Amino acid sequence: MTVLGPADPLPRGDGWLATAGLARGGCGLDAFLARDEAQALRDYGRPARPDVVASFGLHRYAWPASLLITVPGFPHRRVPRLPVTHVSYDRGAGRMAVRPASFACLPGDPAAALPGAVVVDDEEALRAEGRAPVAEHLEPVLAAFGVPPRSSGVEPAAARAVPGGQRFAGRPGQHPERGRAGAARGHPRHLPAHVRHRPCRQIDCGRGRLTAPQTRGGRPVD
């Protein structure tokens, strides 16, 4: 990830796609989903339905995008605000470039005096601040896909990506409990209720140890 300064332009060309272009739909969205359409054809031997392609593409965007907002909350207790106009994504290379509009932090944080800092009262207020930027970022992207949510997997794919990303974010820094708590409480509240994720499951590993279920590759299972 590249963090840009306030005056730095977002990268374009050479595989980069501005998220604002994705949120506008049209050619930007078509180009983004062409990769998922080709992969589905390669994996399953036949074209996938448009809503299936859209759910693949949205999940593969929402996962890293939600991490941009949730990951800084674990080691640093800071939550950046990243509107779609402040993010570019190079999907082929797995790179993202961001220009934070502002960030929320707790009292006593050394960064509280920096431009753009929004100091909140406590941890609960910080969690509330964390939900709003996720909703702000994902809602225009969801709107661009334009598929009725009750008839497709598009919005549920985004809802799975957010808590899954939070659980994943809690693991590298050894914050699994905080990750599970964030996953349970960190859904964008403005998304419709039917796309919010069920409570995170845990399995008993023996000797009193509980953990979230994972795939063989170590990725959390929703």
Question: What ranges do the domains of the chain cover?
Answer: 2-211
State the Cα–Cα distance between residues 65 and 157, nearest whole angstrom.
13
| Lowest pLDDT segment from 40-44, 71-75, 113-117 | 71-75
Contact 220, 164 (CB under 8 A): yes
- Give residues with Cβ within 8 angstroms of 58, minimum separation 6: 141, 142, 145, 154, 157, 158, 161
167 and 67 Cβ atoms separated by less than 8 Å: no
| 161: its two tokens | 């990506």
User: Predicted confidence band at 100 (pLDDT cuts at 50, 70, 90)?
Assistant: very high
* DSSP assignment letter at 8: P
Spatial separation of the C-alpha atoms in residues 59 and 62, rounded to whole Å: 5
Average pLDDT over residues 111-128: 90
Closest by CA position to 101, among listed 56, 132, 127, 128 = 132
- Please check the confidence at residue 149 and state whether its pLDDT lies above 70: no
Contacts of residue 167, Cβ cutoff 8 Å, sequence gap at least 6: 176, 179, 180, 182, 183, 200, 212, 220
Average pLDDT over residues 15-30: 91
Report, as an integer, the average pLDDT of 83-91.
94
pLDDT for 169 equals: 56
Give the pLDDT band (50/70/90) at residue 23.
Answer: very high
Average pLDDT, the chain: 76
Find the mean pLDDT for residues 19-48: 92
For 204-212, what is the mean pLDDT? 54
Looking at per-residue pLDDT, the higher value among 136 and 158 belongs to: 136
Joined tokens for residue 35: 């990769």
| Sequential DSSP letters for 30-72 | HHHHHHHHHHHHHHHSSPPPHHHHHHHHHHHHHHHHHHHHHGG
pLDDT for 24 equals 92
Q: Which residue has the tokens 């062409």?
A: 34
Model pLDDT, residue 72: 82
pTM: 0.69
Dihedral, CA atoms, 71, 53, 135, 116, nearest 10 degrees?
50
| 91: nearest Cα among 65, 114, 121, 126 | 65
The pLDDT score that the predictor gives to residue 40 is: 93
